[in-house]
Structure 1
């Protein structure tokens, strides 16, 4: 059996949720979109079902997977619905949904639900990705209220740069949000994502939305906020299954982009870009081999990568390699690949998932 394993620490998942909820100070949705950021949405949802206030996913298909797994807590569709026909399932399964466009608003107005919808009305406070512009927000609110199809409306927005604490845009978005919702009927509000929860106390409202931090990955710079208290949920590991000795001056892998500078012991590891390890990861990307830090050398292949065993004489065939996890941060690997930890976690596949 190929030795590529994603070990998922559900106790760490619970710890991270409880830390985020305490930091936010009120109800908090656990975001399980993209298959729980690659961790397994249903298994993560079940592990949190007794402590989470609710869950959030991107779309209807993801919500139905959670309902089929037996999760009865509220589930918010962060992207809302794409077709009017989906509203029947929203109604049947008691789902909550974002409304972020004129098209979605019209779908609600034309629907005939058996019970009022729970709607989260998105304000575009400056990110300019989705949501109603400030000058149109009140009208959208009143149309929902007048439709007779909606039981509650949560005011929401999304931050563009909350993971950059020194950038003033987050404060500007908060000011825009507060100014726009002023004068509307009192009700629940939601503005804080993971970075907002961990680093922006002014973003504390009725509902937080914890995403990447739930999985133990801080979206913030080192030493900022409460990110250091998170515990990584996924440990992505494999084993060395081949070793060779190369003299100085020998190329390794596709493209000859790495040439040995000294006699080098090379370990061949069962993991490649088809498994989710980034092809763009550069020589020097960190790995942990039998508990000792070493580095990636050469270009990542589809199914394999190569690591430096030269200074680890005890390492060889069968040695365990942590690609990321508790000792090697996924953010550190992502930085060497010119991307973010989110992408690496979401791309994991062909691994054997072990839950504990």
Structure 2
């Protein structure tokens, strides 16, 4: 019906104006070259299909990054989406940054929210993060532990 289409259009316009109210970020702590055929992480759940540059991120399930995102999740580094590889551990996650030229130690890694860099801008929404982890958006935001510093602006 026309009313249903109008309501759907109105909801899309409202969604387009919404901004993510929070960001969950960490930084690149180490960079490691992984040879094709080598595995990373607990249980060797991921094996490099090509020579790969991996960013070691000091964030894990103790911080609110659920193990369930293993093999599904991503982070934004340098404005580009980078897949998480290997199993998420208690304090470490690993991202494939092979396709991010110039990635460096200390670069911001965005787990939730928007990230901009030399290569563009990308956003990981709470709904997307929730879909990767099998949680609700509320569980995602409430699951970010007290170990993660809060900065209010």
Range class of TM-score, shorter chain: 0.7 to 0.9
Conserved 8 A contact 2:130-2:136: yes
Higher strand share: 2
1:225 Cα deviation from its structure 2 partner:
7.3
Distance 1:225 1:313 in 2: 35
Q: Is 1:303 paired with 2:91? A: yes
RMSD: 2.0
Secondary structure of 1:274 counterpart: coil
Secondary structure of 1:273 counterpart: coil
TM-score (norm: length of structure 2): 0.82
TM-score (norm: length of structure 1): 0.36
Contiguous gaps of at least 5 residues in structure 1: 1-164, 166-198, 201-222
Alignment of structure 1 residues 118-157 onto 2, 5 Å? none
Structure-2 residue corresponding to 1:45: none
Structure-2 residue corresponding to 1:348: 144
Structure-1 residue corresponding to 2:23: 235
Distance 1:261 1:278 in 2: 25
Distance 1:297 1:240 in 2: 14
Instruction: Considering Cα pairs closer than 8 Å and 6+ residues apart, tell me whether 1 or 2 has the greater RCO.
Output: 2
Distance 2:74 2:95 in 1: 9
Conserved 8 A contact 1:281-1:334: no
Distance 1:260 1:340 in 2: 31
Distance 1:271 1:292 in 2: 19
Q: Is 1:335 paired with 2:131? A: yes
Distance 1:297 1:241 in 2: 16
Q: Is 1:252 paired with 2:49? A: no
Secondary structure of 2:150 counterpart: strand
Structure-1 residue corresponding to 2:104: 316
Distance 1:337 1:225 in 2: 27
1:316 Cα deviation from its structure 2 partner:
2.4
User: Which has the higher Rg, Structure 1 or Structure 2?
Assistant: 1
Higher helix share: 1
Distance 2:136 2:49 in 1: 30
1:308 Cα deviation from its structure 2 partner:
0.5
